[in-house]
Amino acid sequence: MNFLRNYSSQILGVTRIVTGLCFLEHGSSKLLNFPPGTMHPALISMAGASGMIELVAGALIVLGLFSRWAAFVASGEMAFAYFLAHFPRGFFPAQNGGDAAVLFCFIFLYLAAAGPGAFAVNDK
C-alpha cells in the first residue's frame, strides 16, 4: 500500500482529530451533560478530574495545540482508568468493558510519540 505513504501526515492528522473528538465527547458528557449521559460526577472527585482531563486534553488534541503533551496525559489517564475501573472486573477488555480505555491509551501514546500530523495549530 505504498500509495497511502504520500498521505501519512494527513491520515495521522485526521486520526488525531477523530480520536480527540471522541475523547472530548466523554468529558463533555460527564461535565456538561452534552450529549446527555448517565455519569455526572462532582468536580472534586476522581471521575470529575477524569472529565476535566478528557475535556481539556480532548480539545487540545483536536486543535493540535500542545497535542503531544495532551496525548501523553490522556494516555496516562486511560491506563489509570483501565486498571482502576475495568481490570478488577475481569482480565479481558471485551469482558470488563475496557476496550475503549485500552484503545485510547495506546492511540494517545502513539500520538505523543509521532506528533500531531497535518492540520495542527503547532507541532508540540
Angle at 71 between CA 53 and CA 116, to 5 degrees: 135
Q: Judge if pTM exceeds 0.85.
A: yes
For residue 51, is it within any domain? yes
For residue 37, is it within any domain? yes
Q: What is the pLDDT of residue 94?
A: 94
Residues 49-97 have pLDDT tens digits of: 999 999 999 999 999 999 999 999 999 999 999 999 999 999 999 999 9
Contact 93, 86 (CB under 8 A): yes
Query: Which residue has cell 484503545?
Result: 103
Which residue range(s) make up the domain with 45? 10-114
| Number of structural domains in the chain | 1
Looking at per-residue pLDDT, the higher value among 43 and 107 belongs to: 107
Per-residue buried b or exposed e for 84-104, using 16+ beta carbons within 10 Å of the residue's own CB = ebbeeeeeebeebebebbbeb
Task: With cut-offs at 50, 70 and 90, classify the pLDDT of residue 1.
Answer: confident
For residue 14, is it within any domain? yes
For residue 2, is it within any domain? no
Contact 68, 111 (CB under 8 A): yes
For residue 44, is it within any domain? yes
CA dist., res. 87 & res. 95, Å (int): 10
pLDDT above 90 as % of the chain:
90
* pLDDT surpassing 90 at residue 37: no
